[in-house]
A and B are shown apart, each in its own frame.
Chain A
């Protein structure tokens, strides 16, 4: 079945770049997503990428997609303490399908 894998923890210093990696298994996924979850809160959509794209940039966020290796990454430039949260990679199953999430990467930003 489909599976999404992420590393569980990442620690960076304020001002550095953060790179969060994800691998997925469903080659038919049309959209891949990054969500942010702060403590006690729901999920906030950060960005998404369509499967026929290699890269998408949105202000401080850059998403890279290697479809051959089924590898997705999220780069956060100039990471701030407010970026500390759990980041989830997700793929969509089918055209109207549900989202399949990884276990999340906890990003800690040190001043």
Chain B
């Protein structure tokens, strides 16, 4: 049973460009959350998608947007890239209708984005 898969694993972009990162949740999960982990920092919550809608959002600018598809997979889009957007982007999937236990959060290995 595959866990959370993210693509690509690494990406280099130029300032001002746009990027799309992809996430396929663990089988049976219906909720996808995105986190940004800068070097030497803990992950920071970007947003969460459930039933193809953004359910919660962290303190990130509108340049960060997302989408969830009917098959529960998700994309994270970042426009007008800044050097400070360089980070590891982690996707986590969970199942909303279960009792909210920790075991339902499964993280992918992340996409390493470098902005030059």
Query: Which has the most chain B C-beta neighbours within 10 Å: A4, A31, A43, A45?
Result: A43
Chain B 27-43 interface 0/1 with A at a Cβ cutoff of 8 Å (1 = within) = 00001010100001111
Given the known interface contacts A42-B109, A98-B48, the answer about A104 and B42 at a Cβ–Cβ threshold of 8 Å is: yes
Given the known interface contacts A88-B42, A98-B33, A98-B45, the answer about A42 and B110 at a Cβ–Cβ threshold of 8 Å is: yes
Given the known interface contacts A42-B109, A42-B110, the answer about A48 and B101 at a Cβ–Cβ threshold of 8 Å is: yes
Residues of A37-65 at the interface with B, using a CB-CB cut-off of 8 Å, are 40-45, 48
Tell me whether B102 and A45 are in contact (CB under 8 A).
yes
Q: Which residues of B contact A92 (CB under 8 A)?
A: 100, 102
A99 interface residue (CB < 8 Å to B): yes
Give the contact-size bracket for chain B.
Answer: 20 to 34
B94 to chain A, nearest CB (A): 8
Tell me whether B110 and A101 are in contact (CB under 8 A).
no
- Chain A: residues with Cβ within 8 Å of the partner, total of 25
Tell me whether B96 and A99 are in contact (CB under 8 A).
no
Given the known interface contacts A102-B42, A103-B41, the answer about A96 and B96 at a Cβ–Cβ threshold of 8 Å is: yes
Chain A 97-111 interface 0/1 with B at a Cβ cutoff of 8 Å (1 = within) = 111111110000000
- Find the A residue at minimum CB distance from B100: A95
Q: Which residues of A contact B43 (CB under 8 A)?
A: 43, 88, 99, 101
Cβ-neighbour of A101 out of B33, B42, B48 (below 8 A): B42
Where the two chains meet, the residues of B that have a C-beta atom closer than 8 Å to any C-beta of A are: 4, 31, 33, 35, 40-45, 48, 55-56, 58, 90, 92, 96, 100-103, 105-110
